Chains A and B, each alone.
Chain A
């Protein structure tokens, strides 16, 4: 009986992983297809990759998306870390419930609602204070920062809860200000969480189509918008080539992050043993 149950869940795990990875493997495989028809194999070719790098509109959208993702992730780490710090270190204060719901709600809020509500905010702000006059990179940056902060707050607060409070207390007993303690003790200890929070925010921002579509103006076209308008018309091998590059880049970054974290973990374990 015991044996059967273990093998059932293990079997499900293997099947589940296959389910997650087979479609992506197919996508990569057909990106090297010479034929325009995605489902008919006509020989190996890197033609679609060449085509991809000739597409000026696409390349400028990539550049736009990367810049927005960089700025959004950076700002989201600042705001999310502060929010996580408040939630884990401040005991009781007014507005705690409001803050904690504003951190958790964006995690599940349907994107169409977030997008619409932010657009209406920007429209009202433009009417009342005259800013933002144009919607574009700036408004997408604000929108992405807002929902990414919530994710960063969750990642960072998990780490903050694990940190040994006695180190922070010792620093303050020895006369360090809370400000100094935060920068000299807390920040270095939670750096891995800050990095993974930043990376998560970066990928979330890079990936967002719906919210960006609502708050963007005519001047700012991000990569998901270009991909979406192309995909809507049907399957295209060029998108497969793009998908392959994205999957490759993400896997590479994930592998490096995983490797670095493992090494840090091993080092820490060694230090504890010594």
Chain B
């Protein structure tokens, strides 16, 4: 036993490297490197073969050839469909994020103010839906929003409307689906932020004669900026690339880039165009991702 420990002690410097190396190289290989390959394939051309793209680098007759095909990018910018899809995605993701924030902030605020025991129960209630199947939660709205769906039946019964509204397969349904699916991800960072808020600051403000609504705007809201950014990015970034929700709840006029990419890849088998779509999406999202990273890194490195 002691020799075993001694052996380990001798290997200590390597131990440190190993602890760092395993997660580092796993993520490097399976997360970072693949992006370089997407970039490479976005400069390729689609052919009918396995895999269905032309090699970018080749070594023939003692010459190393690099064939870069900018056609995919030119094609994407020349076709208004793709530009519209990017714009549509950003618009829908933005509206959904805003709605999530408007619903989620008061909810997180109320949670942070609740008694401690109740807070734990509420936290569980908020997180529980996000643990059940995402697909199933989106599916739940299909039965509610359809023409003969429950919402229409209910509104007809109330007498608010004379004939069924077209709710399903609209952009409204997509926004509703995104808000429903992503709301917990907005609430959790907001709650984590608001619950740590220094109460004495609020007391100081009120002692100095600030009205409560005023204190909220000038003290609480600015201090919860970190939570707002984290929550908004957790909703906005995945929503831009969302595929399942526009596919199930959206209609033919719902243009979202995640769905377009999926169709290019699976239906048209055009891997290079799908890659170019992904690269442009990443370029659009790089600022939001950096914002999120900065907040998250601060959280990760903070010593409690």
Contact = CB atoms under 8 A, between A and B. Distances in A.
Interface of A: 1-2, 5-6, 8-10, 12-13, 16-17, 19-21, 23-24, 26-27, 30, 37-40, 78-80, 82-83, 85-88, 90, 93, 95, 98-114, 116-118, 120-121, 123-124, 127, 142-143, 145-146, 149, 153-154, 157, 161-162, 177-180, 200, 203, 206-207, 209-210, 213-214, 224, 227-228, 231-232, 234-235, 239-240, 242-243, 246-247, 250-251, 254, 258, 262
B64 interface: no
A269 B241 CA distance: 45
A227 B150 contact: no
Contact of A79 (B22, B38, B281): B22
Nearest to B41: A120
Interface size class of B (residues with CB under 8 A): 35 or more
Main secondary structure of the interface of A (DSSP, over half): helix
B9 interface: yes
B297 A95 contact: no
26 contacts: A9-B110, A16-B104, A16-B183, A19-B180, A20-B125, A24-B140, A38-B143, A80-B23, A83-B23, A95-B24, A102-B27, A102-B31, A105-B293, A107-B234, A108-B237, A113-B38, A116-B275, A146-B31, A154-B296, A161-B303, A179-B15, A235-B143, A240-B143, A246-B133, A247-B132, A262-B120
A170 to B, nearest CB: 18
Contacts of B9: 177
Main secondary structure of the interface of B (DSSP, over half): helix
B178 interface: no
Interface of B: 5, 8-9, 12, 15-16, 19-20, 22-24, 26-35, 37-38, 41, 51, 103-104, 106-107, 109-111, 113, 120, 122, 124-129, 131-137, 139-144, 146, 148-150, 153, 180, 183-184, 187, 211-213, 216, 233-234, 237-238, 240-244, 247-248, 258, 261-262, 265-266, 271, 274-275, 278, 281-282, 285, 288-289, 292-293, 296-297, 300-304
